[in-house]
Amino acid sequence: MECPRLLPSTHLALLIFLIPLTLAADLFFDFRCISQPGNYTPNSPYQANLNSIFSQLISPNTDFNYGFYNLSAGENPDQVYSTALCRGDRTQDVCMSCLNETIARLKQNCPMNKEAIGWHENCTVRYANRNMFGEMEYTPQSPKPSTGENASNPDQFNQALDQLLSNLSATVVTFASLQLVTYN
Ligand SMILES: *[C@@H]1O[C@H](CO)[C@@H](O)[C@H](O)[C@H]1NC(C)=O
Ligand SMILES: *[C@@H]1O[C@H](CO)[C@@H](O)[C@H](O)[C@H]1NC(C)=O
Ligand SMILES: *[C@@H]1O[C@H](CO)[C@@H](O)[C@H](O)[C@H]1NC(C)=O
Ligand SMILES: *[C@@H]1O[C@H](CO)[C@@H](O)[C@H](O)[C@H]1NC(C)=O
Ligand SMILES: *[C@@H]1O[C@H](CO)[C@@H](O)[C@H](O)[C@H]1NC(C)=O
């Protein structure tokens, strides 16, 4: 039952990827540093565990697994949990280079935060000092309104959008079940 529990956050990430497609390249990156869990200290075990996760994420030896990663390193209270996801239509090389860049930007923008999330055009990276694997979490979010035209009939637009997204969720569930059958 591991796989279905992972779906909600995968689905959420998928939606997040669909939205920024129309924006300029330098607008693709966004991040949140979560201050509530506090900061780690330099050269602490937490930092070492985080760095170990970073190296695994950018290593070609880590199982590509369709671009989905759930990694954990260390022991309580210094245990680090991380999830990362690449766009399904990107190659492993593009995925790794996106993870590398997103990690670099998170290091720069959230230098000591125990918890942070970064969104890029081709991938997303998240880490925390708590186990968030398979949890449905609506925040943090990065909404990106398009700069284009507004829908002329918002009700009709939202109805079509609901249907598209619900069709999409059904497709994701079906695909995930197939993978479970085929590969587990
Ligand atoms: C990652 O997810 C897989 C599949 O759900 C699970 O078997 C594995 O134990 C998870 N890894 C960690 C570090 O929790
Ligand atoms: C990863 O990012 C670092 C820092 O931005 C850069 O120096 C390095 O060349 C990148 N490595 C790869 C494999 O892209
Ligand atoms: C995302 O991947 C595509 C290739 O699949 C690449 O052309 C594009 O530059 C990448 N985006 C960023 C921000 O690196
Ligand atoms: C779209 O609607 C919003 C809210 O009503 C408005 O502020 C914005 O100017 C509109 N944008 C365009 C491109 O018409
Ligand atoms: C959603 O699926 C239904 C049933 O397969 C189909 O008739 C409809 O056109 C789909 N709608 C969208 C927006 O994809």
* Region 73-85 average pLDDT: 97
pLDDT digits (tens, 9 = 90+) for 162-171: 999 999 999 9
* Region 119-129 average pLDDT: 97
In a domain, 61, yes or no: yes
Q: Which two tokens stand for residue 41?
A: 């200290």
Q: Which ligand is nearest to the CA of 95?
A: 3
Q: How many domains in the chain?
A: 1
Tell me what pLDDT residue 180 has: 60
Is the confidence at residue 66, as pLDDT, over 60?
Answer: yes
Index of the ligand 4 atom closest to the CA of residue 148: 13
Q: Give nearest CA residue, ligand 3 atom 14.
A: 98
CA 28–ligand 1 middle distance (angstroms): 29
Structural domain including 84 reads 38-128
pTM of the entire structure? 0.76
The answer to whether 98 touches 121, Cβ cutoff 8 Å, is yes
Tell me what pLDDT residue 27 has: 64
In a domain, 59, yes or no: yes
68 in contact with ligand 1, CB cutoff 6 A: no
Index of the ligand 5 atom closest to the CA of residue 167: 1
Index of the ligand 1 atom closest to the CA of residue 81: 13
Question: Residues near 38 by Cβ (< 8 Å), separated by ≥ 6?
Answer: 114
* Residue bearing the bigger pLDDT, 173 or 154: 154
In a domain, 47, yes or no: yes
* Residue bearing the bigger pLDDT, 66 or 123: 123
Q: Which two tokens stand for residue 122?
A: 């081709």
